[in-house]
């Protein structure tokens, strides 16, 4: 299992693109990712996954658009 850091851009800046970190953690855990941690309201995420970086990136992009 590999530990990754995901840096999401343009969320929780001012009043636009609000994302609750608890909901983000729940979504990522429901996708099968492990040890998901968020850093304050920044959109920075630490997580563990068996996926390679390219596959993980694609999965995150597809699911975060929802």
pLDDT of residue 46: 95
Please name each of the domains of the chain with its CATH number: 2-53 (3.30.70.1280)
Residue 4 has pLDDT above 90, yes or no: yes
pLDDT of residue 10: 66
pLDDT digits (tens, 9 = 90+) for 8-24: 876 766 677 777 888 88
- Of 1, 43, 3, give the one whose Cα is nearest residue 19: 43
DSSP conformational letter for 51: S
pLDDT of residue 24: 87
Reported pTM: 0.80
pLDDT digits (tens, 9 = 90+) for 36-55: 998 877 778 999 999 999 99
- For the chain, the straight-line distance linking the first and the last C-alpha, in angstroms and rounded, comes to 26
pLDDT of residue 28: 93
């Amino acid at each position: 299992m590999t530990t990754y850091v995901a840096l999401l851009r343009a969320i929780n800046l001012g009043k636009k693109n609000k994302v609750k970190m608890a909901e983000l953690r729940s979504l990522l855990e429901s996708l099968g990712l492990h040890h998901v941690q968020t850093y304050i309201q920044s959109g920075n995420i630490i997580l563990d996954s068996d996926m390679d970086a390219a596959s993980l990136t694609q999965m995150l992009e597809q699911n975060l658009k929802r």
